[in-house]
Each structure stands twice: as structure tokens, then as C-alpha cells.
Amino acid sequence: MTIYRLLFFFTSLLTIPAVGQQVRTIDQIYDPQIRTVLLYPQVGSTVDTPSETLNPPVVSLDDGTPLQLEFDDLTANYRSFRARLLHCNADWQQSVLNDIEFTYEYNDNAITDYQVSINTKIPYYHYRLTLPRVKLPGNYVLVVYDERNRNNTIFTRRFITYQNRLVVAAGIRFSTDPARQFTDQQIDMTVSYKGYQVISPQDDFRVVIRQNYRDDKVIRGLRPTNVRAFDQVLEYRLVDLSNTMPGGNEYRFFDTRTVLSRSNYIDRIDRRPDRNIAYVLADQPRSRGAYIQSDDFNGQYIIDNRETGNGAINGDYIETVFTLRINEQPGVDVYVNGAFNLWLLNDRNRMTYDPALNAYRAAILLKQGVYNYNYAMQTTSNPPKTDESLIEGDYSATENDYEVFVYHRPPAARADQLVGYVRVGVNKRK
């Protein structure tokens, strides 16, 4: 064994914090100058396709599809960033694995691929990184930090890899509860583990169901209702409705791919010397009345520039103004919610009530593209409670995507692995 390999082996066994501190294993942007963090599978050719970013960062280890990271730095100055990976168990708590157990290379990567924005009023540096391959299927967190200060975490993003050693079949329908059949969607499924070594199938598998790729919309802790030991099949058809989720509503959307004219759901655009301001058409609550069918990205967004077709470096940042026409709501905060803010409710997307308009307003700096969004309320109590249905409503006819994750810790393994994954849609119309 060469000296280099020995050095790599022993340094990988060391327990080195990612950035010199405890890192939260959630999607979070810590640096306010960092915007538009995208992590997605890069399928096929190397030509950038805006719609690729609609796919979640979930890839099969057997396919070898790479994950692509992109983000912008609005300081408009070059900064040296580095990235490393954390391995997590099914509950997203960091596992006890050493780096060498789940990575092929030294777990510390410099982000050296960058471009400067072109013809934008708000300048920025656009960074890219193709994530290194990993050995094990499961949950991971990408940690990006400042090379000059390892304690300065810039942002964290979750991603998932899987190997289908089981056969997972899922079906979605409206809730079997008559009181919820028009509002909720029910996920029934089976897990076939034929040929897979497991000691106690009814206890050893951990099942997670996720709606529209949102980690704040998940079901955990399901246990099978029937174990067909001869067929080696687990059935999940729960009568307690623990496999039921509110259907929500179709997401609202707007289009800012161009500032030369008004696009879909844009009321007007102010073109100022230092920046552009786009006013989204004023919104009303949708929690009452019949369900209205419309197409959406299930809460996601794409970055694009209509004039150049290269939103990565030609897309400008636009001050986007949202207006929600409702009376002032005491004891709650109102937010514009979407994947553009990683589904977080914070100061960036909090709305302020304007008595003159009798409406809530928020101005958010967003890169040119097509965005999905909705509105959420959060109580100011401790702990706070979040509700999207009060403004958006819940409908079982809503078109949604669901993912089913089946985790297992093999005998003698030290961490959970993702051994079954399936993605299924409901009420698909195209």
C-alpha cells in the first residue's frame, strides 16, 4: 500500500466535524448572500435543461446518475467554497459511519467551477459541483462551507441514494373515511422482500412516505397490517388512517423568464436602473368553493431566461412582490411558501400586513424563472403550528407526487440503508 493510500485511510478514520461544529442535517441556507441552491440528478447529456431541476435529489446507485449542485453568491466576489458529505440514518440523524465507509475518495471537495453573471443588474457568481459517488444507499447531507473558515457553514442540502433490493408497490386513492374523502389522499402499499435476508420483517423495515418531495410533509412509523410469510409480502392497508395525508391544492405559479413584457400572473414590471421589480397578481384565499384543476410543478421551480435560454448566468434577480388579500390575522404569521425557500418559514418569506391595501405583502429577491408557491399560516405560540389549508384548502382531487422509502439495517451493518424506493403520482392528467 502506498504512503498516499495509508494517509487517506487513517485520515478518513478520524472523526472530524464537517465545519468544526455540529451541523444540522436539514435543508438550510445560513449565508443570506447565497441564493437559488439547486441539487438535482443530471440525466443524459451535458446540455443544461431547465426542467431537470424539477426532479428530486434521489438517485439509484445502480444507474450511476450524478447529482448536480448549483448556487449563486450575490456578494459578486469570488469566494472559495468546499463541500463534504454526511451520512445519516432513516431519521436523518448523523450515523456513526466513518467517511471511508461510504465514500470512494477523500471526503472534502473544492468547488472550483464558477461563472460570472452576464448582463444582469444584480451581479453574482454562479457555482457548480458534480457530487462524488457514494458507496451505500441511504440518506446524505451535503455541507458547503467557507474554505477560509471551516466554522462558517454556508448551506446544507439533503439527498438520497437507493438500491432496490425489494419490490415496493403503492397506490393512491381518496381517503376511505367518509368525512375526509373529499380532502385527503390515502396511500396503500405492499412490500415484497422475496430473496432478501431479514430477521423480523414486520419490525425491521422502516417506511417513510413523502408528498411532493417535501420533508415537512411525511408519514413515518407505519407498521404492516398483514404479513404474508409464505409469499414474503408485507401489506400496509391501515384502517386507522395513519397512511392518509391532506391533498392540499394545486400550487399557484408565475413566470418571470422575461422582463420585456408581462408573463403569466405578473401584474406589472418596474424596470429601474439598479434592479427590476415584478408584481405578482394579487391572490385570494382558495379554501372555500370547488376544486379548480390546473397544472403545476408540485411546488418546485425552474430557472430560465427567455431571451438567452441560459438562466444560470443570464438570469437576473428580480424583486418579486406578492400580495394576499385577506383581513389581518391576529396571533399568526403569514408566509409565501415554496421550494425557492427550501420550504422554510423565516424572515425571508414572511409577509407584512398593509392596512391601506387590506392585504399581506412580501418582497422576495428571486432569480428569473417559473415558480410554484402557496401561502401558509403559522401560529406565534410555542411550539408554533403551521397550516396551509386555511388559505389554500385541501382536495382529494389534487394532482400530487408521492415517494415511498423503505429503510433497513442489514445484519452486522452500522447504519440504515435505503433498500426500496418508488415514486407514484395521483390524479395525473398528462
Residues of the chain with pLDDT under 50: 1-20
State the pLDDT at residue 14: 37
Of 86, 391, 372, the C-alpha closest to 212 is 372
d(CA 221, CA 242): 9
CA dihedral 144, 148, 153, 156 (to 10 degrees): 0
pTM given for the model? 0.92
**Half-sphere exposure of residue 209: CA atoms within 13 angstroms, side-chain side:** 26
- Is the distance from CB of 166 to CB of 419 less than 8 angstroms? yes
Break the chain into its structural domains and give their ranges.
Answer: 28-162, 167-248+397-426, 252-392
State the pLDDT at residue 45: 57
Q: Tell me, what amino acid is at 400? A: N
Task: Give the list of residues 6+ apart from residue 415 with CB closer than 8 angstroms, or none.
Answer: 87, 89, 95, 96, 97, 136, 138, 409
Q: What are phi and psi of 10, to 5 degrees?
A: -75, -35
State the pLDDT at residue 255: 98
Q: Which CATH class is domain 28-162?
A: mainly beta
Tens digit of each residue's pLDDT (9 = 90 or more) over 320-349:
999 999 999 999 999 999 999 999 999 999
CA dist 130 → 41, 70, 74, 230, 312 (Å):
10, 9, 21, 44, 15
State the pLDDT at residue 50: 84
Q: What is the DSSP letter of 211?
A: E
Q: Do domains 28-162 and 167-248+397-426 have the same CATH topology?
A: yes
State the pLDDT at residue 43: 80
Tens digit of each residue's pLDDT (9 = 90 or more) over 405-420:
999 999 989 999 999 9
Q: What is the DSSP letter of 350?
A: B
Tens digit of each residue's pLDDT (9 = 90 or more) over 84-123:
999 999 999 999 999 999 999 999 999 999 999 999 999 9
What CATH number is given for 167-248+397-426 in this structure?
Answer: 2.60.40
